[in-house]
């Protein structure tokens, strides 16, 4: 018997698929929600529905029709009106700050290079960063809605929800419509978050990235208010943000959300791809 025959063959190595854990994602959530400044930001968002509800209750004058005018009829409208008030400014500011800090903040603190030498795949890193942005966007929107409901129902009551069409729907359907509005606004903010993620890959200064995202947001809102450039309105990231009024009518017009959702999906696809293209070949020297 030869030596080769005497030595037993080594067992074949069976390739195992890589484990997909949640440790990195949980670490990203802790990075976002473990910072005091982000909790302060959420607290500022929560103040608006409180001030709105107290002001309407104290004056017993909702100030006309529309969302604010419906607050006296049902406490759910405190949450909806507060979301309508915060969507043009406060919510975008919060999401811009988080998304701009996603990559630029790591680079600024010198931790980005460490992350990439663990090693962490750059595509996975960007995916986790965007997922964190998405979670924060949902939490920010729900914070406004939940606080609005908690203060609105004791002050103005619940019961059947009077729609903008003049008819009433059961309270449960009102809550469902509020949740759909929250989901819609979260999707819209996800588009803004994708823009922020891309801008964050271009710089190591999170403050500069946040300012850039806010400038783009306000520029979009200004252009959307100029009739002479109406041809580009539908392509602006902010154009469809407030198009949830159809959910407050009877019957609810869920189809009215489709253009906004498609717009948000397009911005997410374009700018996450751009962020990946930029970040995949970026030299990390910090």
The answer for residues whose C-beta is within 8 angstroms of residue 52's C-beta and 6 or more apart is 68, 71, 78, 81, 82, 85, 148
pLDDT of residue 204: 86
Would the pLDDT of 247 be above 70?
yes
262 contact partners, CB below 8 Å, separation of at least 6: none
| pLDDT score at 15 | 43
* pLDDT for 64: 57
- Alpha carbons within 13 angstroms on the beta-carbon side of residue 278 total 17
Q: What is the pLDDT of residue 68?
A: 77
Residue 284, token pair as written in the block: 């990390």
62 has a pLDDT exceeding 60: no
Report the pLDDT value the prediction gives residue 82, as an integer from 0 to 100.
96
Question: What per-residue confidence (pLDDT) applies to 219?
Answer: 97
**Helix, strand, coil % (nearest 5) of the chain?**
70, 0, 25
pLDDT digit string, tens, across residues 138-171: 999 999 999 999 999 999 988 899 888 888 999 9
User: Over 60: is that where the pLDDT of 38 sits?
Assistant: yes
pLDDT at 258: 96
The Cα 221–Cα 196 span in angstroms is 16
Is residue 17 very low, low, confident or very high in pLDDT (cuts 50, 70, 90)? very low
Whether the CB-CB separation of 185 and 141 falls below 8 Å is answered with yes
Q: How does residue 70 score in pLDDT terms, banded at 50, 70 and 90?
A: confident
Instruction: Take residue 28 and report the two structure tokens written for it.
Output: 């990203």
Please give the pLDDT value at position 105.
Answer: 80
Angle between helices 76-86 and 122-156 (to 10 degrees): 130
Q: What is the pLDDT of residue 281?
A: 63
Q: What is the pLDDT of residue 69?
A: 75
**β-sheet bridge partners, residue 169:** 161
Over residues 176-228, the pLDDT tens digits come to 999 999 999 999 999 999 999 999 999 888 999 999 999 999 999 999 999 99
């Amino acid at each position: 018997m030869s030596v080769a025959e005497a030595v037993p063959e080594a067992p074949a190595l069976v390739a195992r698929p890589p484990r997909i854990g949640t440790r990195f994602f949980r670490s990203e959530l802790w990075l976002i929600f473990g910072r005091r400044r982000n909790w302060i930001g959420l607290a500022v968002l929560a103040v608006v529905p409180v001030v709105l509800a107290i002001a309407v209750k104290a004056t017993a004058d909702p100030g006309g029709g529309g969302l604010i005018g419906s607050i006296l009829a049902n406490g759910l409208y405190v949450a909806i009106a507060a979301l309508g008030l915060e969507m043009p400014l406060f919510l975008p500011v919060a999401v811009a700050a988080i998304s701009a800090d996603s990559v630029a903040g790591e680079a600024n603190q010198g931790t980005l290079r460490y992350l990439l030498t663990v090693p962490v795949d750059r595509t996975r890193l960007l995916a986790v960063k965007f997922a964190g942005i998405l979670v924060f966007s949902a939490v920010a929107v729900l914070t406004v809605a939940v606080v609005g409901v908690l203060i609105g129902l004791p002050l103005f009551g619940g019961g059947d929800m009077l729609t903008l069409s003049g008819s009433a729907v059961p309270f449960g359907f009102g809550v469902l419509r509020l949740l759909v509005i929250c989901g819609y606004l979260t999707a819209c903010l996800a588009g803004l978050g994708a823009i922020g993620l891309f801008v964050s890959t271009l710089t190591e200064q999170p403050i500069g990235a946040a300012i850039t995202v806010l400038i783009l947001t306000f520029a979009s809102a200004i252009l959307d208010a100029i009739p002479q450039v109406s041809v580009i309105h539908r392509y602006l990231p902010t154009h469809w943000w407030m198009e949830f009024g159809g959910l407050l009518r009877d019957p609810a017009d869920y189809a009215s959300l489709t253009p906004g959702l498609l717009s948000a999906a397009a911005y997410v696809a374009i700018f996450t791809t751009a962020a990946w293209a930029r970040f995949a070949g970026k030299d990390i020297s910090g």
